[in-house]
């Protein structure tokens, strides 16, 4: 038991997380018993120092609100993580703490499943770590995009118009608004601008259908939640930790 390598997830108020069951099922499927996966609920990011002091720690996933704050505690970043400015996967090897961004891989795979040729311009809701990974993928795919955030002067939830929404037929919701247990919460958003040509991706996976997705689908939009992205980024994280392809 003592020889298990430790993996896990750091975040705040993350008891609802999918990751623990996902990885424990994976270990069972692969018939490996030398890894453990735990939830590390941190109040402040500096508590990660205690985690790093554990010689059995192999790595961990990172979720809200630490995807950007964790960078100061790492020795190296992958190219993607450096360009994005956010980390959601950390590996500790030979004492070196390296940050990766597997959200980008997960989001790109999700987008490629659903995108159609008429989805020529995108709107990103939110400006946290997940939004940065989304923007990185959209830029890479040469899809023009705008960001809408509470703190933004140009586009925020107070000034965004139905016309702007109509003109951006790919909308990605990256904020935690509407996540379990606050499933009735929804961004203040001009849903009147959403049409049957829209594709709405909400990165939340619990609940399956957020209030945002329900409101958008009532306008005829095609919708997707964050579950496939979550699976794909978890698989990518496993590749990094185990040094192997699926």
Model pLDDT for residues 95-117, shown as the tens digit of each residue: 999 999 999 999 999 999 999 99
- Same domain, residue pair 147 and 212: yes
The per-residue pLDDT for 205 is 93
pLDDT given for residue 245 in this prediction:
54
Residues 11 and 97 in one domain: yes
In a domain, 27, yes or no: yes
Same domain? 111 vs 158: yes
* pLDDT tier at 158, thresholds 50, 70, 90: very high
Q: Which among 177, 53, 21, 200 has a CA at the least distance from the CA of 114?
A: 200
pLDDT of residue 27 exceeding 50? yes
Residue 93's pLDDT is: 95
Strands (E), the chain: 5-11, 35-41, 59-62, 76-77, 89-93, 96-100, 122-125, 145-148, 170-173, 199-202, 222-224
16 pLDDT above the threshold of 90: no
Domain containing residue 13: CATH number: 3.40.50.10860
Domain count, the chain: 2
Q: Are residues 118 and 220 in the same domain?
A: yes
pTM, rounded to two decimals:
0.92
Tell whether the model's pLDDT for residue 45 goes beyond 70: yes
The arithmetic mean of pLDDT across residues 61-90, rounded, is 97
Domain of 38, in residue numbers = 5-101
Pair 94, 108 in one domain? no
Q: What CATH number is attached to the domain comprising 187?
A: 3.40.50.720
What pLDDT is attached to residue 246? 45
Residue 210 falls within a domain, yes or no?
yes
CA nearest neighbour of 89 among 111, 112, 106: 106
Q: Determine the pLDDT at residue 97.
A: 98
The three state secondary structure string of 89-140 is: EEEEECCEEEEECCHHHHHHHHHHHHCCCCCCCEEEECCCHHHHHHHHHHHH
- Domain shared by 115 and 161, yes or no: yes
Indicate the average pLDDT of the chain.
Answer: 95
Q: What value does the mean pLDDT take over residues 113-135?
A: 97
Average pLDDT over residues 166-182: 96
Query: Is residue 138 over pLDDT 80?
Result: yes
75 and 184 housed in the same domain? no
Q: Is residue 245 part of a domain?
A: no
pLDDT of 193 > 70? The answer is yes
Domain termination site, one of 69, 101, 133: 101
Confidence check: pLDDT of 235 > 90? yes
Q: Are residues 38 and 15 in the same domain?
A: yes
Q: Report pLDDT for 1.
A: 46
Per the domain annotation, does 236 fall within a domain?
A: no
Q: What's the pLDDT band for 2 if we cut at 50, 70, 90?
A: low
Final residue before a domain boundary, out of 75, 101, 127 = 101
Whether 118 and 211 map to the same domain: the answer is: yes
Which residues are marked as active site?
67
Same-domain check for residues 148 and 213: yes
């Amino acid at each position: 038991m003592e020889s298990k390598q430790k993996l896990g997830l750091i975040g705040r108020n993350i008891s609802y997380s999918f990751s623990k069951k996902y990885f424990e099922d994976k270990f069972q499927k692969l018939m490996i018993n030398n890894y453990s996966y735990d939830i590390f609920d941190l109040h402040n990011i500096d508590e990660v120092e205690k985690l790093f002091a554990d010689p059995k720690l192999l790595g961990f996933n990172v979720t809200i609100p630490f995807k950007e704050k964790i960078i100061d505690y790492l020795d190296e970043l992958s190219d993607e993580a450096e360009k994005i400015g956010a980390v959601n996967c950390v590996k500790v090897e030979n004492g070196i703490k390296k940050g990766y961004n597997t959200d980008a891989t997960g989001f790109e795979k999700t987008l490629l499943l659903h995108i159609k040729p008429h989805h020529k311009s995108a709107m990103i809701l939110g400006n946290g770590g997940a939004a940065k990974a989304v923007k990185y993928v959209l830029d890479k795919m040469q899809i023009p995009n705008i960001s809408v955030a509470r703190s933004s002067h140009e586009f925020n939830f107070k000034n965004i118009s139905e016309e702007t929404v109509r003109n951006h037929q790919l909308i990605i919701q990256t904020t935690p608004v509407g996540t379990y247990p606050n499933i009735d919460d929804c961004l203040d958003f001009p849903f009147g601008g959403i049409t049957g040509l829209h594709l709405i991706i909400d990165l939340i996976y619990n609940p399956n259908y957020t209030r945002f997705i329900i409101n958008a689908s009532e306008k005829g939009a095609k919708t997707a939640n964050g579950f496939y992205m979550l699976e794909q980024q978890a698989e990518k994280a496993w590749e990094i930790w185990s040094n192997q392809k699926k």
